[in-house]
Structure 1
Amino acid sequence: MTESAYTRRKQPDLVRRALLDQTAALAVGGGPAAITIQAVADRAGVTKGGLLHHFASKQALVEAVFADLLEKLDQEIDLYMAEDSEMRGRFTRAYVRAIFADRKLGKSSPWAALSVSMISEPALRQLWSQWLERKLGEHRTTDDAPMLEIARLAADGVWLADLLQEDRETVRDLPHIERQLLALASSKPQGT
């Protein structure tokens, strides 16, 4: 006997997770334009009404996916920080590593698919800005030096350049750039 939506046991956390994952997968496969309420509902195996029960609109769904990606970035950065015994610059080095790790995924990264939307979507920019402000506040005592900000901004620049680059092989030596940024984030502050 096949379970229907009426006889199946409700599992809202699993449904929500499936909706987030399928939205990210659609973005990877076809960019933000591929995300529609119907497409996400179909891929997650729920009705449009079921999706709208969890997320009031497509915008709310995309924002939730973006917040989910930020949470995953937090976890990745925490893992890198746990491996790093040098306190000064530890967040910055973890941030650089996370940026370059995502860059290696290329177009198959949900970040690549959704990040361009940050430019035109104020709500996504606000989520990013709040996340970054919170992280910098948490690590102000260890990562507030100008050279560390330069390393983070340079990593952002590499990420953005790759994101905007046409589908062709890069000519930059990215492993070398990553090593240089990590070294910059490990050096002693100037003037001390």
Structure 2
Amino acid sequence: MTSTTSTRDLILDAFESIVIDNGERTATLDAVAKQAGVSKGGLLYHFASKNELVDGEIQRLTKLAEEEVAELMAAPDGMVSRFMRLSIAEDTPLDRAFTIASRLAQSGRYPNVIVALEKVENTWLRMLTDALGDPVVARMVLLMSDGLYYRSALFPSGENVTPDTDELLGAVDQLIAARSHR
């Protein structure tokens, strides 16, 4: 059985690649159509403007984040453990969706992207708070996860760039125990 990618997804993939590799300003409709291997009319059939491409990326980010939350909630090794272990940049579809969303947010032209990123982060924070029972520790885990992701993206081939996740999880457990005895 072969896997087919929809024209809409090919266009979004092209938009992602251009923005990630060359910046948001180079992602013109003509450049996206060319990169996707579709006519400009074909692109316009799916996305009538650059803002609609951005909206398509927001929908993609939202869907991928929802899928990850479902995976995290069903993780046999525990949600927090899996969340921390997934905090490494590996060029997954969700990584690419976050990268493009970050670049679009940084441009200052797309406030709706910032709103979408905040919603995803807030979902993760609620999920962590529910799992850990402590909003402060949940925020710390979220920020620790951000740091792990940032370091792995910044130093993709570096050794000993990120600490052992088991040690971090042990420290989180100790912190929860210490805070519960207050």
Q: TM-score, normalised by structure 1?
A: 0.67
Which ranges of structure 1 fall in alignment gaps of 5 or more residues? 1-12
Count the aligned residue pairs.
169
Partner AA of 1:133 in structure 2 = N
- Measure, in 2, the Cα distance between the counterparts of 1:30 and 1:113: 11
Does 2:104 match 1:117? yes
| 1:32/1:117 contact within 8 Å kept | yes
- Measure, in 1, the Cα distance between the counterparts of 2:77 and 2:9: 34
Does 2:86 match 1:98? yes
- The match for 2:76 among 71, 78, 84 is 84
Deviations along 1:36-91, one digit per CA (max 9) or x if unpaired, are: 211111232333233223223213212322431342233234334423354xxx2x
Structure 1: which 4+ aligned runs deviate by more than 6 Å? none
Alignment of 1:109-188 (within 5 A): 110=96, 111-119=98-106, 120=108, 121-137=110-126, 140-145=129-134, 146-160=136-150, 165=154, 170=158, 173-176=161-164, 178-187=165-174, 188=176
Post-superposition shift, 1:125? 0.8
Which ranges of structure 2 fall in alignment gaps of 5 or more residues? none
- The match for 1:24 among 13, 16, 24 is 16
- The match for 1:42 among 31, 34, 46 is 34
- Percent identity reads 22
**171 and 122 in structure 1: CA distance in 2 versus 1, 3 angstrom threshold:** farther
User: CA-atom RMSD, angstroms?
Assistant: 3.3
